[in-house]
């Protein structure tokens, strides 16, 4: 029986492990932490539903990923710039909220359970060199961080809500968000650049949400994370296949990266199973999406810093906001024309990223 080693037990690594194990391969996963989801503390995050026309849960099903994790469907959400509200009520889910971390019911715990049920051996508190791994899924690269999130998780009696705030004092070039589902909430600020303002941004974020809502917060715990991005993706180094943020895969606009991480792990495993070129599989799937997110980030910063309302108005006025967003995640003609300008701007703005 062929044996394969995977370094890292995040969604991309476990997605690859599950796919290989279902084809009868022996798989060993090495995770330096004591459990999966070590970077997260029960944070609520979104499985986005706009980068593809197909519902993300159906995509997971087609990749043999079971939905044995807790999730909440959100067809309604609100956005505010602290002056105006935009309320969205959509025909299909904008996203599914999932918990991250080692807790039961989280996406990470569910993927671990699926992998282990298929015979995958997960070696916690153990690591191997990248050169000894077949697939590298080690997460964000320290020197290529584009965004940082800081916030809290908490228990609450507040009704279910998804509310985003666009305010540079609360989230420089990013956004703040409040997510509540079934008595559990997450409040965060996401900052792009100027990371030294992160603490002050979260203070402002919390103040805005407390002023806007009758929000009760019980048993708060700190949470957060980083987003890593590259446009010069090393999908393969030597004989190793790189997946997820270890390959620089992320959405530079808003940082919804779970879907792409899981897909990259699946593509790496299928390349092994079918003896295909993983670089070509990954490049064909991700190249245009990465370029799109760069153009989106460029316009978000150039236009949004003056008037976020202009951008949100365009989305709300669309016949189908999710289809409208889909066109801006798949490299439309407008983005092709704007890409050289976006690349020039972003190289100056984010000098540590490989763009």
* Contact between residue 149 and residue 188 where contact means Cβ atoms under 8 Å apart: yes
| Residue 196 sits in the same domain as residue 302 | no
| Residue 276 sits in the same domain as residue 139 | yes
| Number of domains composing the chain | 3
| Residue 152 sits in the same domain as residue 239 | no
Of 169, 166, 175, 66, give the one whose Cα is nearest residue 113: 66
Residue 249 confidence (pLDDT)? 96
| Residue spans of alpha helices (H) in the chain | 11-22, 56-62, 107-117, 198-212, 258-274, 278-317, 321-327, 333-349
86 inside domain: no
| Residue 117 sits in the same domain as residue 156 | no
195 inside domain: yes
CATH number at residue 139: 3.50.50.60
* Contact between residue 128 and residue 30 where contact means Cβ atoms under 8 Å apart: yes
26 inside domain: yes
The domain of 308 spans 290-349
* Residues 50/47/82/314 CA torsion (nearest 10 deg): 0
Q: Tokens 């020197």 identify what position?
A: 143
* Contact between residue 9 and residue 122 where contact means Cβ atoms under 8 Å apart: yes
pTM, full prediction: 0.96
Q: Tokens 């992998």 identify what position?
A: 115
Could you list the mean pLDDT of each consecutive 10-residue stretch along the chain, which spans 355 residues?
A: 92 98 97 95 96 97 96 96 91 97 97 98 97 97 93 97 96 96 97 94 96 93 94 93 96 96 98 97 97 97 85 94 96 97 96 92
| Residue 44 sits in the same domain as residue 127 | yes
Residue 1 confidence (pLDDT)? 61
255 inside domain: yes
End-to-end CA distance of the chain: give it in Å, rounded: 40
- Residue 196 is given by DSSP the state G
Residue 306 confidence (pLDDT)? 73
* Residues 292/296/302/307 CA torsion (nearest 10 deg): 160
Beta strands 145-155 and 218-228, pairing class = antiparallel
Last residue of a domain, one of 260, 285, 310: 285
| Residue 237 sits in the same domain as residue 161 | no
Residue 203 confidence (pLDDT)? 98
């Amino acid at each position: 029986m062929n044996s394969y080693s995977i370094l890292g037990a995040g969604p991309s690594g476990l997605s690859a492990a599950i796919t290989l194990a279902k084809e009868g391969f022996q798989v060993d996963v090495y995770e330096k932490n004591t459990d999966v989801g070590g970077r997260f503390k029960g944070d609520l995050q979104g499985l986005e539903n706009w980068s593809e026309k197909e519902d993300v849960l159906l995509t997971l099903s087609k990749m043999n990923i079971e939905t044995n994790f807790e999730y909440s469907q959100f067809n309604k959400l609100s956005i505010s710039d602290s002056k105006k509200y935009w309320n969205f009520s959509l025909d299909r889910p904008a996203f599914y909220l999932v918990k991250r971390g080692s807790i039961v019911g989280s996406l990470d715990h569910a993927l671990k359970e699926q992998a282990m049920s298929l015979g995958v051996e997960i070696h916690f508190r153990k690591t191997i060199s990248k050169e000894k791994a077949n697939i590298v899924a080690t997460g964000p690269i320290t020197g290529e961080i584009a965004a940082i999130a800081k916030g809290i998780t908490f228990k609450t009696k507040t009704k279910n809500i998804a509310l985003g705030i666009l305010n540079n004092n609360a989230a420089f070039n990013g956004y703040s968000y409040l997510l509540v589902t079934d008595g559990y909430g997450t409040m965060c600020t996401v900052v792009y650049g100027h990371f030294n303002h992160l603490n002050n941004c979260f203070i402002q974020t919390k103040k805005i949400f407390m002023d806007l809502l009758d929000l009760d917060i019980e048993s708060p715990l700190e949470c957060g994370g980083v987003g890593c991005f590259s446009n010069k993706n090393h999908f393969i180094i030597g004989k190793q296949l790189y997946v997820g943020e270890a390959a620089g895969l992320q959405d530079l606009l808003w940082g919804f990266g779970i879907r792409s991480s899981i897909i990259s792990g699946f593509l790496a495993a299928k390349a092994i199973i079918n003896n295909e070129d993983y670089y070509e599989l990954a490049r064909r799937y991700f190249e245009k999406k990465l370029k799109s997110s760069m153009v989106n980030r460029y316009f978000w910063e150039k236009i949004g810093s003056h008037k976020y309302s202009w951008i949100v108005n365009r989305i709300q006025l669309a016949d189908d906001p999710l289809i409208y967003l889909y066109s801006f995640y798949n490299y439309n003609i407008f983005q092709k024309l704007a890409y050289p300008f976006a690349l020039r701007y972003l190289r100056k703005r984010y000098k540590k990223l490989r763009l």
